[in-house]
Amino acid sequence: MRTSPLDRRFVRAAVAALLFVGILAGCAQRSTPTPAPAATAVPTIPLQSASGAAKASGKIVPAQKADLGFTTAGRVRAIDVAVGDQVEAGASLVALDSAAAEVAVAQTQSAVAQAQSHLDELRSGARPQVIAAAQARLEAAQARLTQLTEGARPQEVAAARAEVAAAQAAQQRLSSGPQEADRIAAQVALRNAEAALQQAQAAYDRVSSQSDVGMLPESRLLQEATNNHAAAKARYDALFAKPDAAAVAAARAQVQQAQAALDRLLAPATQGQIAEAEAQVHSAQAELELLTAGASDRVVAAAEAAVSEAEAALTLAELNLANTELRAPFAGTVTDLAVGPGEMVLPGQAILTLADLSRLQVETTDFSERDVARVAVGQPVTVFVEALGKEIPGRVLRIAPQATVVGGDVVYAVVVALDEQPPDLRWGMSVEVETAVD
């Protein structure tokens, strides 16, 4: 058990008196030297609490303190505080690199949107445009099946023959070149355009010395004649040029395609073709019925579960992103900072200590089991701060429910709230606590 200042002064005085008596005795016997007697141990004076008082030693500590860290590993991106800074609750303290967490949030947001869109479509049914497209596919499949089973209709055969004839005529024009009448007409048009250009050029040359020649009719006529001559020359060159190989090949392919379509119409369908066409009709019919009937309860329930799963993943991703920034859980002062920019931190690693230094209290650890039974919560106490030489009134705030053993003594931890807080009181100062007991 720790002693009060009065007890300590009493002990020092008693020890000094005993030493003084021993010195005097030694001086009186110097005249007759005798063998020195064996040293006798000074008896220990037991230190006890004053009658009716319980005493204990303790420390000044913050009423609220936290060693903070991250729940995830990462590299420190920014440190927003320094030791000694006072911060408000929710203030940013340290931030980790959050690029990967931001990407995860964006991905999960997209997954939620897709799942919700699919669910909305199932609940509202297919859009009219989708149903119309499915109806058109069914009709096309039915028409194909009818054509294979009943043969092509006369008008379809006639149209196919006309396509073949048109493709063949186009191919013939490319291979044989333009007709003679077309050539003559192109030559005449080119000569007329050349003559008109010469006349316009001569008229323009007569007035070209004038300063405002650009505004005269001769200038406009010359431009028109130039354009007409270029167009006539292009038509003439196109008629007399050699046919392009790519155009000839395209025309030949067009003839082949038209002929193949006509052959399909005229040739009888095989059993395999008819079976394939029937399968296409059944598939299109089933698709249309599914769209018009709407989704089943089982399908809707599965889509709802997919939305819930995507939302849970988004919540987790947002939580992971929030955990890349360490914020103050309460207002206080940064008292320790154990990390720097660019360093790696591990989950659960304490990197910063935050304490509320505006509310200090006393923690004792050596209230004797003989005294603690007579101490109650709310009981007034006197706290002597050795460093300040001051006594501060207080009251018992908490008593530990379980004892600890220190040096063979059974003691209890007691927390004392201070009724007042001097401005020069500091965290860690040693104190002596005394309270009256029955």
- Distance of CA 70 to CAs 51, 86, 94, 344, 355, Å? 52, 20, 9, 11, 18
Q: Tell me what pLDDT residue 177 has.
A: 64
Higher pLDDT, 390 or 148: 390
Q: What is the mean pLDDT of residues 116-141?
A: 87
Q: For residue 100, what pLDDT is reported? A: 93
Q: Is the pTM of the predicted complex or chain greater than 0.75?
A: no
> Which residue has 């000074």 as its token pair?
42
Task: Tell me how far apart the alpha carbons of residues 235 and 20 are, in angstroms, rounded to a whole number.
Answer: 139
Q: What is the mean pLDDT of residues 200-228?
A: 79
pLDDT the model gives residue 436:
86
Comparing 52 with 379, which gets the higher pLDDT? 379
Structure token pair of residue 265:
């119409």
Distance, CA of 119 to CA of 41 (rounded, Å): 92
Dist. CA 429–CA 355, nearest whole Å: 15
Token pair for residue 275?
């079976």
pLDDT above 60 (res 3) = no
Q: What is the pLDDT of residue 354?
A: 96
- Mean pLDDT to the nearest integer, 135-141: 91
Highest mean pLDDT among 50-64, 258-272, 337-351: 337-351
pLDDT of residue 12: 47
Task: Name the nearest CA neighbour of 413 among 429, 433, 390, 428.
Answer: 433
pLDDT at 45 (0 to 100): 33
Q: Is the pLDDT of residue 371 over 80?
A: yes
> Looking at residues 87-91, what average pLDDT do you find?
95
**Using 50, 70 and 90 to split pLDDT, how confident is the model at 5?**
very low
Q: Does residue 118 or residue 12 have the better pLDDT?
A: 118
Mean pLDDT lowest among 9-13, 65-69, 359-363: 9-13
Q: Give CA–CA dist 59/360, Å, rounded.
A: 10
Which one, of 172, 140, 32, 109, lies nearest residue 314 by Cα? Answer: 109
Q: Quick one: CA dihedral 19, 24, 25, 31, positive or negative? A: positive
Strand partners, 404: 411
Sequence letter at residue 258:
A
Q: Which pLDDT band holds residue 176 (cuts at 50, 70, 90)? A: low
The whole-chain average pLDDT of the chain stands at 83
The mean pLDDT of 410-437, rounded to a whole number, is 93
The pLDDT of residue 41 is 43
- Count of beta carbons in the 10 Å neighbourhood of residue 83: 11
B/e letters for 194-214, b = 16+ CB within 10 Å, e = fewer, are eebbeebeebbeeeeeeeeee
* 2: pLDDT strictly greater than 70: no
Q: In what order do the strands lie in the sheet with 74-79?
A: 325-327, 92-96, 74-79, 344-345
379 dihedral zone (left: phi>0; alpha: psi -120 to 50; beta): beta
pLDDT-derived band at 91, boundaries 50, 70, 90: very high
